[in-house]
Amino acid sequence: MIDEISIRDLGVIERAALPLGPGFTALTGETGAGKTMVVTALGLLLGQRADSAVVRAGSGQLWVEGRWRVPVDGEVAARVRDAGGDLDDTGDASVGELVLSRSVAAEGRSRAVVGGRGAPVSVLAELAERLVVVHGQSDQVRLRSTAAQREALDRFAGAPLEQALEDYRRAFRRWSANREELARLVEERDRRAREADELRAALGEIEAVAPEPGEDEELAEQAERLTNLESLRVAASVAREALSAEESEGPDVRGLFETARRELERAGAHDPALRELAASVAALGFQVEDSAAQLSTYLAALDADGAHDLEVIQERRAELAALARRYGPTLDEVMERAATGGRRLAELESDEDRIHQLAALVDEDAAEVERLAASVTEHRARAADAFAAQVTNELAALAMPDSEIVVDLQRREEYGPTGRDAVSILLRPHAGAEPRPLGRGASGGELSRVMLALEVVLAASDPVPTFVFDEIDAGVGGASAIEVGRRLARLAESAQVIVVTHLAQVAAFATNHLTVVKSGDGSVTASSVRQLSGDDRIAEMARLLSGLPDSESGLAHARELLELARRKPADAA
């Protein structure tokens, strides 16, 4: 329930505070005084789009604040705490005060505060779903849509339908997802088949060559050696002969080292220093012999290689180069292609199995969706008759005694997220007439009463804390307006009701009457809000009736209306 709304610099309203509280609050005022701005302020608190054009001329920003009383352990309190805010203490352990505020700068910047903490505007919108239902002239247009009519019937049907719908939606989402995947796989089957054929050919070619890691570099080294075989043999032979002559009688390094060693050892008998040098020379001689032996082994290996080996190596290198050109550009990338290609081929080959599996799942899901949709339809059909009867009864009390509401359920060709039902709320204006869609069978005033009748019926099965009606009585007058007032008062017995109205017949039934007062200096209009009682309220009622707050006949009629509202109980038919 909203305790109070404070407004500053919104439209023509410079500063105003609206004491609301429980029951039925009527908000009246002269044309242009800013009654609609009150609804605009509430919309801002409920997360609606901010328009900087409504910032009061000459002001840098507008500001609105609302104070709600909400259960401390309810969904609203939990969402506020999730957003980092909290409720204020009211002295009642079960109820806390929630403060919401919103500011909009003249340049368009908007800021929201939830429970004392800054929060995204989207949090206000989430809270709005649990706090307030707002009805205006635009909602009469919305009421003509089949979606809004289905939502109204579903709200009336309550928990049994809600559970059936949840079960259906779960199956429908699964069915839709599987159908989409199946359609995609079937549509891409040819492309995937071509990709699989190409992969098989590539993997077959790579497997036939069977490259090894680093093989291309190793073969390049071998080819380089075999290509220069003769020059390598000459160099190694000359070096070996220089170190240890085997095919000539000339001096070699080994012989020279041996001569040096003998001379040093003979003279070393006279000087220890020469003995050490003799040992060092002997070690170098051993190294020379070892190097000569290695060169002999190298020459023997060269003699074993030949032109045939070079031809084989060059052929192998050509095979590897061809693979690299097609699938590389490097041999490592070719081998990576083989590894990833194998995995991708396994995926592609498993797609056919997936298609068969999905087709079976889709068939199973289709049967489940059909069964659950039938359950949803059954719940709606059962609720439709009771809903139509109750709304029809309400219309009779709203001065439409010959009208009848008919709820028509039609089966659509396709299943949707809400089932297979197209719900139409039709109005039979009088006995014997054909039921017609609300958009063609009802005037604006009749639509207002139908909307009110719907909310009165829905409030019994799906209560809402607060209803706001912005001139729901447009197009209504006389006895019909009195019945609208009665029904609003009846609705206020179970919920807070706030009504912006221009009809005294409606305002008479309010338990809290506020008026937007306009004053001006010729250039700027400033409006404020007053709470009316006693003679002030009678004068405002007279103004609504005749345009003259001091008309004797108007005042008398106003007193009569107020007495009528007090004398007749709110739930009188």
Across 435-451, average pLDDT: 76
CB–CB of 558/538 below 8 Å? yes
Q: Which residues of 504-514 are buried (b: 16+ CB within 10 A; e: fewer)?
A: bbbbbbbebbb
What is the assigned CATH class of domain 2-136+435-567?
alpha beta
Rounded to two decimals, the pTM is: 0.62
Alpha carbon separation from 448 to 34, 79, 474 (Å, rounded): 22, 33, 7
Compute the mean pLDDT over every residue in the chain, rounded to the nearest whole number.
85
| Confidence class for position 572, pLDDT limits 50, 70, 90 | very low
Q: How confident is the model over 88-107, as pLDDT tens digits?
A: 998 999 999 999 999 999 98
Residues in the chain: 573
Which range (149-163, 175-189, 303-317, 506-520) has the least confidence? 303-317
Q: Bigger pLDDT: 472 or 113?
A: 113
Round to whole Å and give the CA distance between 152 and 515.
Answer: 32
**Number of Cβ within a 10 Å radius of residue 273:** 10
The domain limits of the chain are 2-136+435-567, 193-327
Alpha helix (H) residue ranges in 305-436: 307-327, 331-397
Q: Which residue in 544, 529, 537 sits closest to 559, CA to CA?
A: 537
pLDDT of residue 568: 52
**176-224 pLDDT per residue, tens:** 999 998 988 887 776 777 777 778 788 888 888 888 888 888 888 777 7
Q: How far apart are CA 402 and CA 396, in angstroms?
A: 7
Enter the tokens of residue 374: 């039938």
Characterize the bridge pairing of strands 61-71 and 2-10: antiparallel
Quickly count: other Cβ atoms within 10 Å of residue 190's Cβ.
Answer: 9
CB 428 within 8 A of CB 435: yes
Report the percentage of the chain scoring pLDDT > 90: 34
Which string of b and e fits 76-107 if b means at least 16 CB within 10 Å? bbebbeebebbbeeeeeeebbbbbbbbbbebe
Span 226-251, pLDDT tens digits? 777 778 878 888 888 888 877 666 67
Contact 106, 60 (CB under 8 A): yes
pLDDT digits 0-9 by tens, 395-431: 888 878 889 999 999 999 899 999 999 999 998 988 8
Residues 6+ positions from 163 with CB-CB distance below 8 Å: none
Distance of alpha carbon 292 from alpha carbon 239, whole angstroms: 8
Handedness of CA 482, 488, 493, 498 (dihedral sign): negative
